[in-house]
Amino acid sequence: MKKVITYGTYDLLHQGHINLLRRAKALGDYLIVGVTNDSFDRDRGKLNVRNNVLERVEAVKATGLADQIIIEDYIGQKIDDIQKYDVDIFAIGSDWEGKFDYLNEFCQVVYLPRTEGISSTMLRDNSQKTVRVGIVGCGRVAQRFPSESDVVSGVTVTACYDIDSEAARRYAEAFPNVEVCASFEELLDKTDAIYIATPHLSHYEYIKQGLLAKHHVLCETPMVLDGAAAKELYQLAEEQDCILMEANKTAHCPAFNHLIVLIKSGLIGDVVDIEASLSQLLDRNGREFDTQQAGGALFEEGSYPLLPILKLMGINYKELHFYSKMEGGVDIFTKGFLRYPSATCNFKVGLGVKTEGCLIISGTKGYAHVPAPWWKTDYFELRYENQNDNKKFFYKWDGYGLRYEIQEFISCIINHRFSSSRLRRRESICMAEIMQAFAKRRGVETI
C-alpha cells in the first residue's frame, strides 16, 4: 500500500483545498491529512478566526477524500508522522516549492499545482468585516490588549473610555490609532464590541449597557460575582443576538486545551483528585485589598484554579467549603474544597500568602503535573508508575496570552457561536455562583 500525507489549515474549506486533496489522493492508495491546530500561524502572522480545529477536521472529513485525519501540533511533527505512519509520499501545494525538500531523506516529496484565483486569505478578505473594539478601563491589563489584537485578523482597537479621563488620555497617547471617548455612550457609538477591564463590581452595568446597545462583550474575569446576574447577562446576550464571553486567558491557552483533551481521553485513567494553586504578593494599598471594590484572593484569582476543576469534573459538585485567612475584611488566603460523587478537588489562592502555584490532576493510571505558573501553561507532564512511560509536552506561550481569547471572541462573533467550548456559559455561571457563596460566607471558616 502506498501512503500519502499532506498538511494544511483548511480554514474556510474551498474548491482549491478539495482539488489539492484529490491530487494528493491520486498519488497513492491511502491519504493521511494533517490539520494544523489553533495555535499561532506564524507564517501568516495572524491567528485564524473563522473555523476552529474541530470545525476544520469535520470539513475535511466531509470531503470523503481523507482515509485518516491527524492534528498537527508542533514544529518537526512532519518527520515524526512520516516515520510513524510509514509514509511513501509527502504532498503539498506548489506555493511551498523547495521548502520541504529536506523531507526527501524520509520519503518522496511532491509539490502539487494549486488552483488559481482562490485562497482562504482571499475569502477572508472578501467576506470578513473588521470588528471595531472599544476599551473600557485603561489600566494595567488593558495596556496589553492592542498589541495582542494586532496578531488576530478581523479586529482593530479604535476607541477607549475610562472614568479617569487622564488615564484614557495616556492610553490614547500610547496607542495613536485609539480615540478617547468622553463617555461610555460615545464609545458605544464608535465601536461594534467592547473589552471591559474595569474593577469587578462595575462589570455588570457595563456588560448590560453594552448588550442593550447590541454590542459584543469580552469581559475580564471574574465576569460577575453573582450566579443569577451571570445567567441574566448570558440570556440577554442571546436575546440581543450578541456574543458575551468571559476573558479567562488560561481557558484559551493552546497547551491548557491540549491538557484537558488528553485527560478527558483517559490517558491518566479516571480523575479522582485535582489540586490547583495560584498566589501573588501585591501592594496592600491596591484595589485588591479594598473591601469596597470586591478585594480579596478568591475574587481576584479564584476563576483560574476553578477552571480545570469545572472543565474536568463539571458543575454538579456535592459540597463546597472554604477556609480563609482574613485581614481588613478581605481574604488574603483561601483554600477551597469541592466534593464530587467520585472525586475531590481543592484549590488555593493567595494575595498576602505565597504558595507553590502548580496544578496536579490525579488519576487511576497516572497523574498530570503542570509546574508553576501553571495558568500560563507552556509545559506539562503525564507521569506514571513506570517512569519510562512518562510523557512531556512543550508549548510556546505567545505574548501576554490575550491573543488566544481575542481570537476566540472574534471567531464566536463571525461564526455566530453564543458559547465557546473553551469556557462554557454554564461553567462561567458556576464560577459566579461559587463567588457568590463565598461573598455570602456560605461554607466559609476563618483560620
Which ranges of 277-336 does DSSP label H, i.e. alpha helix? 297-301, 303-313
The domain made up of 256-396 has a fold known as Dihydrodipicolinate Reductase; domain 2 (3.30.360)
How large a percentage of the chain has pLDDT more than 90?
A: 76
Whether residue 387 is predicted with pLDDT greater than 80 in this model: the reply is yes
> Looking at residue 254, what is its pLDDT?
84
- 46-81 confidence digits (pLDDT tens): 565 567 777 888 999 999 999 999 988 777 899 999
Whether residue 122 is predicted with pLDDT greater than 90 in this model: the reply is no
Whether residue 372 is predicted with pLDDT greater than 60 in this model: the reply is yes
Whether residue 286 is predicted with pLDDT greater than 90 in this model: the reply is no
pLDDT grade for 92, boundaries at 50, 70 and 90: very high
Dihedral sign of CA atoms 32, 38, 41, 45 in order: positive
Average pLDDT over residues 301-330: 96
Average pLDDT over residues 216-231: 98
Cα–Cα distance for residue pair 204/433, rounded to 1 Å: 15
Average pLDDT over residues 420-431: 96
pTM: 0.82
The domain made up of 124-250 has a fold known as Rossmann fold (3.40.50)
How large a percentage of the chain has pLDDT more than 70?
A: 94
Query: Average pLDDT, whole number, for the chain?
Result: 92
- 407-419 confidence digits (pLDDT tens): 999 989 988 899 9
Domain with CATH 3.30.360.10 in the chain: 256-396
Cα–Cα distance for residue pair 321/158, rounded to 1 Å: 44
How would DSSP label each residue in 2-68?
-EEEEEE--TT--HHHHHHHHHHHTTSSEEEEEEE-SS-BTTTTBB--S--HHHHHHHHHHHT--SE
Average pLDDT over residues 342-369: 96
Neighbours of 292 (CB within 10 A): 9
Whether residue 127 is predicted with pLDDT greater than 70 in this model: the reply is no
> Looking at residue 43, what is its pLDDT?
41
How would DSSP label each residue in 57-105?
HHHHHHHT--SEEEEE-STTHHHHHHHHTT-SEEEEEGGGTTTTGGGGG
Q: Cα angle vertex 394, ends 390, 396, to 5°? A: 170
**Side-by-side strand order, sheet with 179-180:** 179-180, 155-161, 131-136, 193-196, 216-220, 244-247
Q: Cα angle vertex 68, ends 66, 71, to 5°? A: 105
Whether residue 125 is predicted with pLDDT greater than 60 in this model: the reply is no
Whether residue 3 is predicted with pLDDT greater than 60 in this model: the reply is yes
Q: Report yes or no: 154 and 49 within 8 Å, Cβ to Cβ.
A: yes
Whether residue 218 is predicted with pLDDT greater than 80 in this model: the reply is yes
Within 13 Å, how many C-alpha atoms sit on residue 436's CB side?
Answer: 15
Task: Residue 60: name the closest of 71, 50, 49, 74 by CA.
Answer: 71
> Looking at residue 331, what is its pLDDT?
95
> Looking at residue 40, what is its pLDDT?
40
Q: Report yes or no: 217 and 425 within 8 Å, Cβ to Cβ.
A: no
Residue 115 corresponds to which cell in the numbers above?
Answer: 488552483
- 148-174 confidence digits (pLDDT tens): 999 888 899 999 999 999 999 999 999
Whether residue 9 is predicted with pLDDT greater than 80 in this model: the reply is yes
Cα–Cα distance for residue pair 77/90, rounded to 1 Å: 13
Whether residue 87 is predicted with pLDDT greater than 80 in this model: the reply is yes
Average pLDDT over residues 97-118: 89
Query: DSSP label at 373?
Result: S
> Looking at residue 359, what is its pLDDT?
98
> Looking at residue 42, what is its pLDDT?
45
> Looking at residue 7, what is its pLDDT?
94
> Looking at residue 231, what is its pLDDT?
98
> Looking at residue 304, what is its pLDDT?
97
Helix, strand, coil abundance in the chain, percent, nearest 5: 40, 25, 35
> Looking at residue 352, what is its pLDDT?
86
Query: Inter-axis angle of helices 15-25 and 53-63, to 10 degrees?
Result: 60
Domain with CATH 3.40.50.620 in the chain: 3-122
Average pLDDT over residues 26-33: 96
Strand-pairing partners, residue 361, are 274, 368
Cα–Cα distance for residue pair 80/70, rounded to 1 Å: 12
Domain with CATH 3.40.50.720 in the chain: 124-250
Q: Report yes or no: 87 and 40 within 8 Å, Cβ to Cβ.
A: no
CATH class label, 3-122: alpha beta
Kind of pairing between the strands at 366-370 and 359-363: antiparallel
Cα–Cα distance for residue pair 216/95, rounded to 1 Å: 37
Whether residue 86 is predicted with pLDDT greater than 50 in this model: the reply is yes
